[in-house]
Structure 1
Amino acid sequence: MPKVTVRYWAAAKAAAGVAEEPFDAATLAEALDAVRERHPGELTRVLRRCSFLIDGDPVGTRGHETVRLADGGTVEVLPPFAGG
């Protein structure tokens, strides 16, 4: 099982209470399930509005169960940002 780092930004970071943490997950769906299990409160709600980068590449509309994770990879959790 790949070991990945999930890195939280903005509202996701505030809801998780940490900037990043490790998880064992083969797909983005597995990683997000593990995140929800560890943080069942506000972060679960924030995740519904987030976009994700896998090793710098946007996930877009791909099904999370189809997005494979590499050992040592990074999942970036990006809530919507206000622009100016």
Structure 2
Amino acid sequence: MANGTMRYWAAAKAAAGTHEEPYAAGTLAEALTAALAGRGEEFARVVRRSSFLVDGDPVGTRPHESVALPEGGVVEVLPPFAGG
């Protein structure tokens, strides 16, 4: 289990109601499950469409269960952005 920070951008920030929050999780999947708890469908919809960075490295198409989170790490939740 690692402790770190999850940061939300654009629509993810609006749907979460916060810019960032702490996580305590071993994997990205665990952190996202905790973040989704108690939040509405709009937040879940945004997260499903988002891409993720862990300490600046793109997660890409890797299964979220396989992405280990580092102690003190930062997870960036990036929804699709409009424009060019």
Specify the TM-score bucket, using the shorter chain as the normaliser: over 0.9
Aligned to 1:23, what secondary structure does the other structure show?
A: strand
TM-aligned CA distance change 1:39 to 1:73, over 3 Å: same
Code of the aligned partner of 1:67: V
Report the equivalent of 1:2. Answer: 2
Residue identity matched to 2:67:
V
Secondary structure of 1:48's aligned partner: helix
1:38 Cα deviation after fit: 3.8
Q: Distance in 1 between matches of 2:28 and 2:83?
A: 27
List per-residue Cα deviations over 1:55-80 (Å, max 9, x = no partner). 00000000000000001000000000
**Cα distance between partner residues in 2 of 1:38 and 1:73:** 23
2:60 aligned partner = 60
Quote the residue 1:81 is aligned against.
81
Letter in 1 for 2:83: G
Specify the code of the residue in structure 1 equivalent to 2:17. G
Structure 1 unaligned residues grouped into runs of 5+? none
Number of residues of Structure 1 aligned to a counterpart in Structure 2:
84
Q: Matches of residues 1-84 of structure 1 in structure 2 within 5 Å?
A: 1-84=1-84
Taking the aligned partners of 1:38 and 1:20, their CA distance within structure 2 comes to 16
Unpaired segments ≥5 residues, structure 2 = none
Q: Distance in 1 between matches of 2:57 and 2:50?
A: 15
Q: What value does the CA root-mean-square deviation take over the aligned residues?
A: 1.0
Other structure's SS at 1:7 match:
strand
